[in-house]
Structure 1
Amino acid sequence: MNRTIAVLAAGIVAAALVPGVAYAGGPKVTTVASGLDNPRGLAFSLDGDLYVAESGRGGTDGCFAGPEGEACLGSSGAVTKIEHGKHKRVLSGLPSVAAPAGTNALGPTDVVARGGSIAFTIGLGAAPDQRTKLPEAAQGLSTLRSDGYRGLKTVADLGTYEATANPDGGALDTNPTSVIASPWGYTAVDAGGNSLLGVGPTGKVWTIATFADHDGAQAVPTAVAQGPDGALYVGELTGFPFKPGSARVYKVWPGKQPEVFADGFTNIIDVAFDRHGTLYVLEIAKDGLTAGPPAGALIKVGEDGSHETVLDTGLTAPGGLAIKGNAAYISNCGTCAGQGTVVRVPLK
C-alpha cells in the first residue's frame, strides 16, 4: 500500500474558522493569514516571525497517476512569512504536485528557521524514481532545501536516500513531511519510508529510527519535535484503514528503539511542545480519514499520557502546528487551494 499522507478525499471545502469566535465554549480563535494554497508545517524564527510551508496547487508541467488519482506537476509551492499581521511569500516557484483542481497537493511540507536561513522539506508521495519520469522541476521533490545568504540550495536528496538505503525494508516510497533543527544539522521525517532521518551539514543522511506496523496498518510517521528532555518525539498518521485511536507518539533516543510515549490518537499530522514542556498533538481527522471530510482536533497531552481536547470544532484537514507563548498556531484546510488559513488558538 502507498505509505503517504495523500489519502484525503478530493473536493474538501474549508469549514472556515470565523475570527474572534469561541467554538462550543472553547478558546477564542483568530485568523492570522488566509488565501493559502494547501498550507502545512509551521515554524517560528527567533525574532518571532512565523513561516508556513505551502504545498502549492500543482500545475500543468506533467501528470502521473498518484495515490489518490491524477496528479500534475507545477512550480506553485511556496514558503510564506507572517509578521505584524501581514503575510507574504518569501519563497515561490517551488515544486508542487496536486490534483487537477489544485487540492491535496504535495510540495513544501514543513519549514524550520535557523540563524539567517530557512530550511524546508518537499514531499513526493511516490517511489523515488517517479521523479525521473517527469520534467526537470520534479527533481526538487523529496528533498530538504534551504535558503540563506547564498540563495536556494539542496541540503539533502531524501528520495535518493530512500532508494539506496530503504531504511524500513519495504516497498520504495518517499514523502518527507517534517523537519526540525538538531545539533547535527537537521532531523526529518519521511512518511513514505516510515523513517526518521538525520541530515548533516554536508548533506549526509542516516537513519535514526524506523517504525513498525501495528494494529494491522503501517505506522506512517508524519511529525517530529524535540522534547524538553532532548529526546525526539514522533507522531504517526497510521495507514489504511486509519483505525481511530490507533495512532501513537513515540519517544526516540538516537541509537535506541522507539518507545511509545502516548497512544490513543487518530491520524496525527503534527506535534509540538509549549514553553512549559507540555506536548500538544494535532489530529488531521479526529474520527478517522475514512469518516468523511476530515475534522481535526488539537489535544493537550498530560504527563501520564492523558488527553485533554483544546479544540475540535472548525478545523478541516489541518496541516501543521507551532506554539509560541500561550498560543498555538495551526494551518487549517491543509488540502485546499486558495482557501487555506493559519489560525491562532489561545492555550490555558
Structure 2
Amino acid sequence: MNSVFPWRRLLRFGAVGFAALVLFACSTPAPPPGGGGQGSSATVLLDGLSSPKGLDSFFGQPIVAQGAFGPPGPVLSHSRSLWHQPKTIELSDPIGLIDVAAANDGSLWGLGSDAQDGSPRMLYRKGAFDRTFLPVADITAYQQGDPDPSDLEDDPTESNPYGVAALSNGDALVADAANNDLLRITRSGQISTVARFDTEEISTDHLGDPSLPPALPTEAVPTSIAVVGRWAFVGELKGFPFRPGSSRVWKIDIRSNGAVCSANPANATSGCSSAMTGFTAIQDLDINPWTGETYVYQLAAGGVGAFEEGFDTGNFPPAVLEKVSRGGVRTELVPGQLSQPGGVDVGPFGTVHVTDGVFGNGRLLRISG
C-alpha cells in the first residue's frame, strides 16, 4: 500500500539501523542551528533515547516510550524534585512501543510489536504499579473482519496501528494507519470501529511528472489522536502523492460507530468533520484544553519525499512543530531545532514536551514560547 510504504521502510530501517544507546539525563538548551524561533525555545531533558516515538504525560510528568523503530527500552517518567533536580524513573521492563497513553488511574496503554514478525499490531496495557505490559487486543486480527472500503492497493485488511489515546472511562482509541480507521478498545479487549477515513483527490503537480494524472485518489493514513471531552482529534499523514500541505485534522465524536470522515460531502456522515487543513505528514498532535491551542508535529516541510532522502544521505530535514490558536493563527515553534519527530504532549498546566531523533539520538525536550 503506497500510503503506508514509508512506515514499512522505517520499520525495516529501525530493525537494523540502531546501535545500543546509553540513557543519560541532562537539562541543557538545544542548540539553535541558524536562529531561534520567534521567542520559542527548546530545552533537552533526556538524550540518548532509543527511538522515542511515543509520548504522553501523567500529572504533568512526561511519559516516554522507546523502541518504536529501534531496540526496546523501558517506558520512562521524567520529573523534577522539590529541589529542581531532574529525576528519571523506569516504569516498565524494556519493550518496543510505537505509542503510549496514560489513563486516569496511572495505567498505561501501549502499541507494540507482535513477537512473531515484528509488525506493530498488539495493544498492551500495564497497571500503575506493574512493570510488565500485557496484551489486550490483537488489532491485526480484528482488521481481518473489518476491511478498509477505501483501500487502493488490493490489501483491505492490512493493519498498522500507529497512535493511541486513553479515554476517561478506561477505554483506548487507536488510529490504524494502514486500515484507515479509528478503533475503540475496552480493557477486556472488545474492539469497535468508531470512524473510517475516505480517500481524497490530491493534486500531483508538485511532482513535476507529466505521466501522472492531475490528481490521484489518496488514502488518509491516520497517525495520531488527541482527546478533548467527547471529541477525538485525529491527524493524518496523507498517502501518495505525498503532497505538502495536504494533511488534515479530523474532529470525531468518540460515541460514533462507523462514522465516515470525508472531504467529499456526499460521502461524509455525522460524527466526523474536518477541523483543520494545510498540514504536512502529521506525526502527532495534542491540544491545550485550557486555551484551545493545538500543537501539530509534522514530519518535514517538504513532506515524506524530503524525509526519505535522509535514509540515503543520513541528513534528515527539520521537523515542523506548529502551534495553532483557537482562532486559527499558526506559529512555528523552534524552527530548525527538531528532526525525525516522535510525539508531542501538552500537560495539564500547559507545559509542552516533544520527542525527536527516532532514527538516531532520541531526545525528550521541553518547548517554551
Q: TM-score, normalised by structure 1?
A: 0.78
Work out whether 1:282 is the aligned partner of 2:297.
yes
- Write the distance in 2 (CA, Å) between the matches of 1:176 and 1:294: 25
Residue equivalent to 2:206: none
Alignment of 1:90-105 (within 5 A): 90-95=91-96
- Write the distance in 2 (CA, Å) between the matches of 1:294 and 1:224: 24
- Write the distance in 1 (CA, Å) between the matches of 2:346 and 2:37: 21
Alignment of 1:185-204 (within 5 A): 185-204=171-190
Work out whether 1:209 is the aligned partner of 2:195.
yes
RMSD: 2.7
Residue equivalent to 1:49: 61
The higher radius of gyration belongs to 2
Out of 319, 322, 330, which is 1:296 matched to? 319
Structure 2: 5+ residue stretches without partners: 19-26, 81-85, 203-215, 260-268, 310-315
- The CA deviation at 1:180 is 1.4
Moved more, 244-253 or 164-173: 164-173
AA aligned to 2:186 is G
Alignment of 1:70-81 (within 5 A): 76-81=72-77
Change in CA separation of 1:29 and 1:219 when aligned onto 2, cut-off 3 Å:
same
Matched residue SS, 1:179: strand
- The CA deviation at 1:208 is 0.5
Residue equivalent to 2:126: 147
- The CA deviation at 1:162 is 1.3
Residue equivalent to 1:32: 45
Change in CA separation of 1:197 and 1:57 when aligned onto 2, cut-off 3 Å:
closer
- Write the distance in 2 (CA, Å) between the matches of 1:3 and 1:206: 23
Name the structure where helix makes up a greater proportion of residues.
2
- Write the distance in 2 (CA, Å) between the matches of 1:261 and 1:112: 25
AA aligned to 2:44 is T
Deviations 1:162-214 (A, max 9, x none): 12222446322222121111236111111121110001221100100111122
Matched residue SS, 2:337: coil
Residue equivalent to 1:161: 142
Work out whether 1:221 is the aligned partner of 2:222.
yes
Residue equivalent to 1:120: 110
Change in CA separation of 1:116 and 1:288 when aligned onto 2, cut-off 3 Å:
closer
Q: TM-score, normalised by structure 2?
A: 0.74
- The CA deviation at 1:138 is 4.2
Matched residues, number: 301
Matched residue SS, 2:144: helix
Question: Are the aligned partners of 2:58 and 2:106 in contact in 1 as well (CA < 8 Å)?
Answer: no
Moved more, 211-220 or 29-38: 211-220
Residue equivalent to 1:314: 337
AA aligned to 1:329 is H
AA aligned to 2:231 is A
Work out whether 1:262 is the aligned partner of 2:262.
no
- Write the distance in 2 (CA, Å) between the matches of 1:41 and 1:56: 8
Matched residue SS, 1:289: helix
Question: Are the aligned partners of 1:227 and 1:277 in contact in 2 as well (CA < 8 Å)?
Answer: no
- The CA deviation at 1:322 is 0.4
Structure 1: 5+ residue stretches without partners: 60-75, 96-106, 124-130
Name the structure where strand makes up a greater proportion of residues.
1
Deviations 1:103-162 (A, max 9, x none): xxxx43233243132111125xxxxxxx6xxxx554884111111156532121111111
Deviations 1:36-69 (A, max 9, x none): 11111211113x322111125556xxxxxxxxxx
- The CA deviation at 1:304 is 4.2
Matched residue SS, 1:44: strand
Matched residue SS, 2:142: helix
Residue equivalent to 2:29: 19
Work out whether 1:329 is the aligned partner of 2:361.
no
AA aligned to 2:136 is V
- Write the distance in 1 (CA, Å) between the matches of 2:302 and 2:182: 26
